[in-house]
Amino acid sequence: MPTSSPPAARRVAFVDGVRTPFGRARKDGLYAHTRADDLAVRTVRELLRRHPQLPPERVDDVALAATTQQGDQGLTLGRTVAMLAGLPPTVPGFAIDRMCAGAMTAVTTTAAAIGYGAQDVTVAGGVEHMGRHPMGFDADPNPRFMAERLVAADALNMGVTAENLHDRFPALTRERADAYGVASQEKFAKALAAGQIEPDLVPVALRDPARGWGLATADEPPRPGTTVEAIAGLPTPFRPGGRVTAGTSAPLTDGAASCLLAAEDVAEELGLPVRMRMVSFAYAGVEPEVMGLGPVPSTEKALARAGLTIDDIGLIEINEAFAVQVLSFLDAFGIADDDPRVNPYGGAIAVGHPLASSGVRLMTQLARQFEERPEVRYGLTTMCVGLGQGGTVVWENPHFTEDAR
Active site residues: 100, 353, 384
Give the E-state strand segments of 301-372 in sequence order.
313-318
Phi/psi at 255 (nearest 5 deg)?
Answer: 170, 170
Helices within 73-150 (DSSP H only): 77-84, 102-116, 144-147
Q: Give the residue among 85, 370, 361 at the shortest CA–CA distance from 219.
A: 361
Alpha-carbon distances of 6 from 3, 117, 178, rounded to whole Å: 10, 9, 52
Q: Are 2 and 331 in contact (CB under 8 A)?
A: no
Alpha-carbon distances of 398 from 17, 325, 365, 393, 402, rounded to whole Å: 16, 30, 15, 16, 12
Please compute, for residue 91, the number of CA atoms within 13 A of its CA located in the half-sphere on the CB side: 26
Q: Give the residue among 69, 149, 97, 65 at the shortest CA–CA distance from 389.
A: 97
Phi/psi at 361 (nearest 5 deg)?
Answer: -60, -45
Helices 36-50 and 77-84, interaxial angle, to 10°? 60
Give dist(CA 28, CA 208) in Å, integer: 10
Alpha-carbon distances of 96 from 90, 91, 111, rounded to whole Å: 20, 17, 14
DSSP letter for each residue of 67-82: SS-SGGG-S-HHHHHH
3-state secondary structure of 196: coil
Give dist(CA 87, CA 64) in Å, integer: 14
